Structure 1
Amino acid sequence: MSALAWIALVSLAAWLWLLLGQGLFWRTDLRLPPRRDPEDWPYVCIVVPARDEAAVLRESLPSLLAQDYPGRAEIVFVDDGSSDGTGRLARALADRHRGLPLTVTSPGEPPAGWTGKLWAVRHGIACARAAGDRKPGPRARATAREYHHDATAQTPEYLLLTDADIAHEPDNLRELVAAARSGGYDLVSQMARLRVVSAWEQLVVPAFVYFFAQLYPFRWVAEDGGRTAAAAGGCVLLRTDAAERAGVPEAIRHAVIDDVALAGAVKRSGGRIWLGLAERVDSIRPYPHLADLWQMVSRSAYAQLRHSPALLLGTVLGIAVVYLAPPVALAAGLLLGDPVAAAAGGAAWLIMTATYLPMLRYYSRTLWLAPLLPVTALLYLFMTVDSAIQHYRGKGAAWKGRTYKRPDRAEAAPDQ
Structure 2
Amino acid sequence: MSVIAWIAAGSLAAWLWLLLGQGFFWATDQRLPAREDPPHWPAVAVVVPARDEADVLPLSLPSLLAQDYPGQAEIYLVDDGSSDGTGALARALSVEHGGLPLTLVSPGEPESGWTGKLWALHRGIGLARESGPEYLLLTDADIAHEPDSLRELVAAARSHDLDLVSQMARLRVASFWERLVVPAFVYFFAQLYPFRWINRAGARTAAAAGGCVLLRTDAAERAGVPESIRQAVIDDVSLARAVQRSGGRIWLGLADHVDSVRPYPGLGDLWRMVSRSAYAQLRHSLLLLGGTVAGLAVIYLAPPVALFAGVLSGDAAAAWAGGLAWLVMTATYLPMLRYYRQPLLLAPLLPFTALLYLLMTVDSAVQHYRGRGAAWKGRTYARPETTPER
Following TM superposition, by how much is the alpha carbon of 1:30 offset from its aligned partner in structure 2, in angstroms? 1.1
* Aligned match for 1:176, one of 143, 149, 153: 153
CA contact 2:228–2:387 (8 Å) conserved in 1: no
Following TM superposition, by how much is the alpha carbon of 1:129 offset from its aligned partner in structure 2, in angstroms? 1.3
Which segment is superposed worse, 224-233 or 246-255? 224-233
* Structure 1 counterpart of 2:264: 287
Alignment partner of 1:391 is 2:346 = no
Which segment is superposed worse, 215-224 or 316-325? 215-224
What is the alpha-carbon root mean square deviation over aligned residues?
A: 0.9
CA contact 2:136–2:216 (8 Å) conserved in 1: yes
Following TM superposition, by how much is the alpha carbon of 1:396 offset from its aligned partner in structure 2, in angstroms? 1.6
Q: How many residues align?
A: 388
Separation of aligned partners in 2, 1:165 and 1:410? 29
Separation of aligned partners in 2, 1:254 and 1:103? 26
* Structure 1 counterpart of 2:213: 236
Q: Which runs of 4+ in 1 moved over 6 A?
A: none
* Aligned match for 2:194, one of 217, 230, 242: 217
Q: SS state of the match for residue 103, structure 1?
A: strand
CA contact 1:112–1:410 (8 Å) conserved in 2: no
* Structure 1 counterpart of 2:76: 76
Identical positions, percent: 78
Separation of aligned partners in 2, 1:282 and 1:355? 23
Alignment partner of 1:360 is 2:299 = no
Following TM superposition, by how much is the alpha carbon of 1:408 offset from its aligned partner in structure 2, in angstroms? 1.6
TM-score by length of 1: 0.92
Following TM superposition, by how much is the alpha carbon of 1:111 offset from its aligned partner in structure 2, in angstroms? 1.0
* Aligned match for 2:312, one of 315, 332, 335: 335
* Structure 2 counterpart of 1:369: 346
Alignment partner of 1:191 is 2:196 = no
Following TM superposition, by how much is the alpha carbon of 1:225 offset from its aligned partner in structure 2, in angstroms? 2.2
Following TM superposition, by how much is the alpha carbon of 1:226 offset from its aligned partner in structure 2, in angstroms? 2.0
* Aligned match for 1:303, one of 280, 292, 309: 280
Q: SS state of the match for residue 408, structure 1?
A: coil
Q: SS state of the match for residue 263, structure 1?
A: helix
Q: Provide structure 2 residue ranges, at least 5 long, that are not aligned to the other structure.
A: none
Separation of aligned partners in 1, 2:117 and 2:165? 20
CA contact 2:229–2:387 (8 Å) conserved in 1: no
CA contact 1:77–1:104 (8 Å) conserved in 2: yes
Separation of aligned partners in 1, 2:249 and 2:33? 13
Following TM superposition, by how much is the alpha carbon of 1:407 offset from its aligned partner in structure 2, in angstroms? 1.1
* Structure 2 counterpart of 1:266: 243
Separation of aligned partners in 2, 1:269 and 1:399? 30
> Aligned AA for 2:356?
L
Following TM superposition, by how much is the alpha carbon of 1:224 offset from its aligned partner in structure 2, in angstroms? 2.5
Separation of aligned partners in 1, 2:371 and 2:313? 46
CA contact 1:107–1:123 (8 Å) conserved in 2: yes
Q: Provide structure 1 residue ranges, at least 5 long, that are not aligned to the other structure.
A: 133-154, 412-416
CA contact 2:51–2:79 (8 Å) conserved in 1: yes
Q: After superposition, where does 1:19-34 map in structure 2 within 5 Å? A: 19-34=19-34
> Aligned AA for 1:109?
E
Separation of aligned partners in 1, 2:36 and 2:155? 6
* Structure 2 counterpart of 1:145: none
